[in-house]
Structure 1
Amino acid sequence: MLSLTSLSTTLLLAATVALGPLATDMYLPAMPQMGELLGASTGQVQMTLSLYMAGFALAQLICGPLADSLGRKPVMIGGLLLFTVASVGCALATDIEGLMLCRFLQALGGSAGPVLGRAAVRDIHSPREAARIMGLMAAIMGLAPALAPTLGGLLLAASGWPAIFLALAGYALLMVTLIALRLPEPLPLHYRQPLRPRPLLRNYGTVLRDRSFQGYAVTNALVFSGLFAFLSGSSFVLIDFLGVSPSAFGAYFSVIVFGFVSGSFLSARLARRFSPDQLLRAGLGIAVLGSGLMAALAWAEVFTRMAVILPQMLFMIGVGLTLPQTLAGALAPFPHMAGSASAIYGCLQMSAAALTGLLVGHFHNGTSQTMATVIAVCALAAGLSYLLRAARQPAPGFDAAPSHG
């Protein structure tokens, strides 16, 4: 078994959390072709992404409390096994309705990895250290969205889109094996919560009433929705509108992921010199700047690949700085119920993302304007949410003087 505080454990948790971006990003290059082969519209294909987010949101409300009661490992293993089976179902789907159903089931199982991987970090580390570890994990797992579209494009060219989902099934099965054999149970016995409706609802009520949690969770949901707006619309903007080939899509996507990894790396590196709220303010400012620039270029009808890629990369630097701080801030007040807090946090995040994806699909006008506008609105709303709530009610320890040791 690994030591809970070892780098190997951090790497394993990062690989488990990476299942989330893999399940959304790997099939992005295939979306236009899937629509053509399954006889589905752009909106229907984008619905497979939004349904995944909706299932992800719903499942977190179940797996979080289960894990607070039974422990992280058994729930992670059970969820990942369901993800594996559903991924095979996606590969065998012959119509868009079947694919939608399997994507929803895939999300129900897949949520256990990312949600409980994050909760495990809070189980193991203090709030400030958790922010640093989450930044490090985000930088490590940034390899997943960087490589996923390229790998998806290669699998698409070699074997067709079903191969993408079979690869996801194999990855999930590998995570099940490693977690079962190598990961110690991170949740101490004295933090276990009874699995009864009344304590569960009481825990949810406690989390939702906390003003600090509200500020960080809503700020996160909004800035993540901006990221998801790009995921939902990028293949149709870059491939259908701007003429990028599916095989080259991954290369353009990697530039954007580089922005996220850079922001996450900066978050981990600067965590000892600046307070989490200082990093959060900087990240939100960069996100607003990048998204505003992309929207301005789109409405000025500057329709080039770089007019999308470079501003989105800047936005993603801001996202990489922001997400570790909002997550650590939201979970900081709840060391005794991190699973429940992480579940509500993730549910808000994914619900907002699912709605954003529907908006991008419904109002898509064949250009980059709808996508860019939604991203800019999300970033601006996230900044306002922080100023109106999180900045006024910072998480415990978040406004403390940074260490220069």
Structure 2
Amino acid sequence: MTPPASLPPRRLVLLLGGLAMFGPFSIDTVFPAFPAMGAQLGADRLAMQQTISVYLLAYALTSVVHGPLSDAIGRRKVILGGLAVFTVASVGCALARDLSTLLAWRAVQGLSAGVGLIVGRAVIRDLLHGDDAQRLMSQVSMVFGIAPAIAPVIGGWILGWSAWPAIFWFLVAFSLVLLLATWFGLPETHPRQARLPLQPRPLLRDYVAIFLNPRFQRLAAAGAFNFGALFLYIASAPAFVMDLLRLNERQFAWFFVPMIGGMMLGAFISGKIAGRIGGARQVALGFACCGAAATLNVGYNLLVPAPSVPWAVLPPMLNSFGIALVFPVLTLAILDMYPRQRGSASSLQAFTGLVSNAVVAGVLSPLLSRHGLHLALGAAAFTLAGWSFWRWETRYSRQVPAGQAQAAALEPTERL
């Protein structure tokens, strides 16, 4: 299937990339405003951190809902509904005059922010197959990768000429633009005859069946652990940049720009080589880059007691490049396992990643971020774990007969 005529491929990339961006935008654009918000709302730094915590908690809880809902009522309705809720929630944040009100509306933002990323992946697989799907997902990843780099800059620019509520009014405008673009430009990609009834008991049964599928577990774990190597550094960015590299709060670009650059370059290469080399070979190449990054990182921190730029940020850059090669292939493999339940599979994959990231941010980062070598070893352990699960999957796929492998990939509703 090719993209509908009403939405040319380039416009589809921009729209799906924008839908994936509005979630990260709602986090990163607010970071520069924390001091001003805390001063006006009478909240200390720890209290302001709750505006991120409640957002991420709501995001994680509803990540398991967006996909199945889109399987039942269609992708377009879920995306439009999520954008509408997010717009209202952003208005509420802009008008908030106390911390409790702000926290409540931030939670509502989190409830709706996942529709763009989660349902957008299902849309890609609805429209395209094989190499074309990989190219589109890689192109969307390039657009999405811009968000963490430019969002804090935009937030700082807005604070330069206005007060902090203007950041949320910017999010209102951004989500309205996406809502109008989706309304007029994105057709429904999940036809009625392919939809599943929205019933709690079958939905829970299918979720359990997907989660217990060994192949899903191997692919999801490979992706989550592989990204965990990079997310450990992202979660530890304040300590890594200011304490270990001895830079100031205006020099975070030394870390984020190379990291985002590596990810965008990897996504670009992934799109270019789609169809020219096999998916398994591309994943192997990506993990080789991640392994080289881990080796260089550990070696550098062993030899250099005081890490500094630019050498300390080059291994995370190479790591992000490798991750961008691995991610599209693993994600498409998961979606291809459940042709009628791509939304559910996408939701469960996202939830797996969110839980892993929460453990990294809440437990491992505080333990490891005081020393560069500890961070490097932790990241290397994540890379090794991700590669091990991928290796397990490749060995299993070679050993299992074709008929059994096909049966293992059947949708839960077909097997139960």
Q: Is the 8 A contact 2:32 2:152 kept in 1?
A: yes
Q: What per-residue deviation string (whole Å, max 9, x for no partner) do you get for residues 69-90 of structure 1?
A: 1111111111122222333444
Paired residue for 2:312, among 289, 308, 312?
308
- Alignment partners' CA distance in 2, 1:31 and 1:388: 44
The residue number in structure 2 matching 1:173 is 176
The residue number in structure 2 matching 1:403 is none
Give the match's secondary structure for 1:18: helix
Paired residue for 2:43, among 38, 56, 68?
38
- Alignment partners' CA distance in 2, 1:298 and 1:95: 45
Q: Is the 8 A contact 1:61 1:347 kept in 2?
A: yes
Task: Indicate how the Cα distance of structure 1 residues 353 and 45 shifts in structure 2: closer, same or farther if over 3 A, else same.
Answer: farther
- Alignment partners' CA distance in 1, 2:154 and 2:87: 18
Paired residue for 1:146, among 143, 146, 149?
149
Q: Structure 1 residue 388 and structure 2 residue 380: aligned? A: no
Paired residue for 2:69, among 46, 66, 71?
66
The residue number in structure 2 matching 1:105 is 108
Paired residue for 1:226, among 225, 229, 237?
229
Give the match's secondary structure for 2:340: coil
- Counterpart of 1:38, as a letter, is A
- Counterpart of 2:193, as a letter, is H
Give the match's secondary structure for 1:166: helix
* 1:311-350 equivalence runs, <5 A: 311-350=315-354
The residue number in structure 2 matching 1:10 is 13
Q: Pick which of 239-248 and 283-292 moved more.
A: 239-248
Task: Indicate how the Cα distance of structure 1 residues 2 and 367 shifts in structure 2: closer, same or farther if over 3 A, else same.
Answer: farther
* 1:149-168 equivalence runs, <5 A: 149-159=152-162, 161-168=164-171
Q: Structure 1 residue 260 and structure 2 residue 263: aligned? A: yes
- Alignment partners' CA distance in 1, 2:119 and 2:88: 20
In the TM superposition, residue 118 of structure 1 has moved relative to its aligned partner by 0.7
5+ long unaligned stretches in structure 1? 400-405
The residue number in structure 1 matching 2:219 is 216
- Alignment partners' CA distance in 1, 2:372 and 2:154: 25
- Alignment partners' CA distance in 2, 1:341 and 1:26: 30
The residue number in structure 2 matching 1:125 is 128
Task: Indicate how the Cα distance of structure 1 residues 387 and 28 shifts in structure 2: closer, same or farther if over 3 A, else same.
Answer: farther
Q: TM-score, normalised by structure 1?
A: 0.85
Q: Is the 8 A contact 1:127 1:329 kept in 2?
A: no
Q: Structure 1 residue 238 and structure 2 residue 241: aligned? A: yes
Task: Indicate how the Cα distance of structure 1 residues 275 and 387 shifts in structure 2: closer, same or farther if over 3 A, else same.
Answer: same
Task: Indicate how the Cα distance of structure 1 residues 214 and 361 shifts in structure 2: closer, same or farther if over 3 A, else same.
Answer: closer
The residue number in structure 1 matching 2:86 is 83
Give the match's secondary structure for 2:190: coil
> Aligned Cα RMSD in Å?
3.1
Q: Pick which of 341-350 and 128-137 moved more.
A: 128-137
- Counterpart of 2:385, as a letter, is A
- Alignment partners' CA distance in 1, 2:95 and 2:364: 28
Task: Indicate how the Cα distance of structure 1 residues 279 and 109 shifts in structure 2: closer, same or farther if over 3 A, else same.
Answer: same
Q: Is the 8 A contact 1:229 1:371 kept in 2?
A: yes
In the TM superposition, residue 12 of structure 1 has moved relative to its aligned partner by 1.0
- Counterpart of 1:387, as a letter, is R
Q: Pick which of 137-146 and 11-20 moved more.
A: 137-146
The residue number in structure 1 matching 2:382 is 378
- Alignment partners' CA distance in 2, 1:92 and 1:371: 40
5+ long unaligned stretches in structure 2? 406-416
Q: Is the 8 A contact 1:87 1:166 kept in 2?
A: yes
In the TM superposition, residue 176 of structure 1 has moved relative to its aligned partner by 1.1
- Counterpart of 1:40, as a letter, is R
In the TM superposition, residue 337 of structure 1 has moved relative to its aligned partner by 0.9
Task: Indicate how the Cα distance of structure 1 residues 303 and 16 shifts in structure 2: closer, same or farther if over 3 A, else same.
Answer: same
Q: What per-residue deviation string (whole Å, max 9, x for no partner) do you get for residues 235-271 of structure 1?
A: 3432465454444434642222110001111111111
Q: Is the 8 A contact 2:87 2:175 kept in 1?
A: yes
Task: Indicate how the Cα distance of structure 1 residues 238 and 156 shifts in structure 2: closer, same or farther if over 3 A, else same.
Answer: farther
Q: What per-residue deviation string (whole Å, max 9, x for no partner) do you get for residues 23-73 of structure 1?
A: 3443455568877883124xx666654554432222121111111111111
Task: Indicate how the Cα distance of structure 1 residues 134 and 96 shifts in structure 2: closer, same or farther if over 3 A, else same.
Answer: same
Give the match's secondary structure for 1:287: helix
Task: Indicate how the Cα distance of structure 1 residues 2 and 279 shifts in structure 2: closer, same or farther if over 3 A, else same.
Answer: same
Paired residue for 2:291, among 284, 288, 291?
288
- Alignment partners' CA distance in 2, 1:271 and 1:73: 27
Point out which structure has higher relative CO (alpha carbons under 8 A, 6+ apart). 1
Q: State the identity %.
A: 31
- Alignment partners' CA distance in 2, 1:99 and 1:381: 39
- Alignment partners' CA distance in 2, 1:50 and 1:291: 29
